[in-house]
Amino acid sequence: MNRGFYSVQLILQNIRQLVTVAARGAFAKSGHAMRDLGVLDDATVLIEDGIIRWVGASSDFHEPSIADATMLDCSELAALPGFVDSHTHLLFAGSREDEFAMRVEGRSYQEIADAGGGILSTVNATRAASKKELKKLGRQRLDDMLKLGTTTVEIKSGYGLTQDDEIKMLEAINELAEEHYSTVVATFLGAHALPPEFAGNADGYVAVLCQRLLPYIAKRKLAAFCDAFCETKYFTVAQTETLFRAALAAGLKLKRHADQLTQIGASKLGASFHATSIDHLEKIDSDAMEAIREAGSIATVLPGVSFFLNYGYPPARQMIDSGLPIAIATNFNPGSCMSFSMPMMMTIACTHMGLTPEEALAAATVNGAAALNLSHRIGSIEVGKEADIILYRIPHYRHLAYHFGVNHVETIIKRGVILEF
Ligand code: NIG
């Protein structure tokens, strides 16, 4: 998808149901505020130069007198903010359908990784791919995500695990950010797994990340965030702490894979660093929930992982009830969640994690934006924000989670540009 229609002024008229997900000045929606979506029937939105300038009831709207304004009749459509997928491993070569078949027959994700599969098998395929090949794969996936209503995507490195291959991944992500309509945010995940070259020497590998890669990445501004897979058999709390100190010193913000397979204190460490988001949380306990709430981090849950690996879900209901701001992301990757459908994640969050459709929507939009420090720009349909708006042919926003497995997208508007398939 590389064509779009741009008009200086775009008016979405008579929108059947407008769901603003308005944050009303807050950084994110927390606890019960996640149910307040700011829904308006028969609404109008005025967009100028890609920015939302007016939102309200159609009866209150006075048409501006610009000759080339484009009007879009939305009387059969619902309008919602574009999804913000704040945790993905989108850039990889190869695929792991053989591991999927093994898991269906009873092998666990970790058993497969221990036998040489898992992340390291994708590392081999990604090292063998050129930057050009990776970009081609990435571009196609970003196109397909846009078609499903996702207008902002975070992409992690972490399938290179050598200096050259991590830089190759980050350059590809940054070039996609320049060239693609989607907003793309780059995260450095050099501490995703221990590369074979450093077997038995995780401390040595972390030292290389801190002393060589982070300064280089920071100098070239190749990543906004630094993440780490702090987990039994991957990186310890102490190693992650060393890495995070170096990342902060280099000027990167923090994200973190925490409490996915075991509870080793990873999310509490993330909270102590005031990480922008702390992600996964399948094994979170109530102390860690409290630490995240006090730190003001976003707790990002990844419903597709528990669904796809068929293991326990994070206690998202309890997290929201305890006042946490929850974001939902796909975690799209070839191992633990081979899906980049945000509506599918919302359905799973509702059916398996006890979120209401309203909470799931807030989690997939404005709170996802907060998990990327972007909620001042995107994630809701409010005056002053970028016009990332999806028009759906549905009678009610609840159909997004309820009528699952179907793409309801009618029109994609990215920063005021109507994208053409
Ligand atoms: O978030 N946990 C670490 N990383 C991914 C899985 C990546 C892979 O299996 O390739 C995750 O689940």
- Residue with the nearest Cα to atom 3 of ligand 1? 229
In this prediction, residue 420 has a pLDDT band, given cuts at 50, 70 and 90, of: confident
* Mean pLDDT on 295-307: 97
Question: What Å distances lie between residue 248 and 186, 241, 254, 275, 314, CA to CA?
Answer: 16, 11, 8, 10, 28
What is the position in ligand 1's atom list of the atom closest to the CA of 87? 1
172 has a pLDDT exceeding 80: yes
Residue to substitute in 301, 333, 345 for testing ligand 1 pocket (most ligand atoms within 8 angstroms of CB): 333
Distance of CA 29 to the CA centre of its chain: 16
Question: What is the structure's pLDDT at 47?
Answer: 96
* pLDDT score at 238: 96
The pLDDT of residue 398 is above 90 = yes
Which pair of tokens denotes residue 63? 């048409």
Question: What is the average pLDDT across 313-317?
Answer: 97
Q: What mean pLDDT, rounded, does the chain reach?
A: 96
- Kindly state the tokens that stand for 281: 């949380």
Does 359 score more than 90 pLDDT?
A: yes
Three-state secondary-structure class, residue 265: coil
DSSP 209: I
Could you tell me the domains of the chain? 2-81+377-420 (2.30.40.10), 84-370 (3.20.20.140)
Q: Which of 85, 194, 331, 340 is the pocket-test mutation for ligand 1 (most atoms within 8 Å of CB)?
A: 331
| Tokens read off for 351 | 């059916």
Mean pLDDT score, 100-121:
93
Which amino acid residue places its CA nearest to atom 5 of ligand 1? 336
Q: Give residue ranges with CB within 6 A of ligand 1.
A: 89, 118-119, 122, 229, 257, 260, 305, 331, 333-336
Tell me, in angstroms, the distance from the centre of ligand 1 to residue 252's CA: 22
Report how far ligand 1's centroid is from the alpha carbon of 260 (Å).
10
- How many C-beta neighbours within 10 Å does residue 174 have? 17
Distance 283 CA to ligand 1 centre (A): 15
Going from the Cα of 138 to the center of ligand 1, the distance in angstroms, rounded, reads 17
Identity at 221, one-letter amino acid code: K
DSSP string of 96-109? Answer: -HHHHHHHHTT--H
Distance 335 CA to ligand 1 centre (A): 6
333-349 pLDDT, tens per residue? Answer: 999 999 999 999 999 99
**Which residues contact residue 234 at a Cβ distance below 8 angstroms, ignoring those fewer than 6 apart?**
191, 192, 193, 194
Judge contact between 121 and 152, C-beta under 8 A.
no
Q: Give the three-state DSSP class for 227.
A: strand
The residue nearest atom 11 of ligand 1, judged by CA position, is: 336
Specify the residue for token string 């398939």: 421
Residue 1: its pLDDT value, please? Answer: 56
pLDDT (mean) for 229-236: 94
Measured in Å, residue 91 CA sits from the centre of ligand 1 at: 12
At 413 the three-state DSSP class reads strand
pLDDT the model gives residue 6: 78
Q: Whose CA is nearest to atom 2 of ligand 1?
A: 229
- Confidence (pLDDT) at 65: 62
Ligand 1 atom with least separation from CA of 331: 1
Distance 404 CA to ligand 1 centre (A): 25
Does residue 307 surpass a pLDDT of 60?
Answer: yes
d(CA 190, CA 53): 41
pLDDT given for residue 286 in this prediction: 93
Q: How distant is the alpha carbon of residue 275 from its chain centre?
A: 15
- The pLDDT score that the predictor gives to residue 63 is 75
Q: How confident is the model at residue 69 (pLDDT cuts 50, 70, 90)?
A: confident
- Intra-chain end-to-end CA distance of the chain, in Å: 6
Query: Is residue 218 within 8 Å of residue 249, measured between CB atoms?
Result: no
The confidence score (pLDDT) of residue 67 equals 66
pLDDT band at 66 (very low <50, low <70, confident <90, very high): low
Strands 70-73 and 9-19: parallel
Question: Hey, what are 122's tokens?
Answer: 């994708």
- Residue 68's pLDDT band (boundaries 50, 70, 90)? confident
| In contact, 78 and 363? CB cutoff 8 Å | no
What per-residue confidence (pLDDT) applies to 209?
A: 98
What number does the ligand 1 atom closest to the CA of 231 have? Answer: 2
Strand 83-85 to 277-280 pairing: unpaired
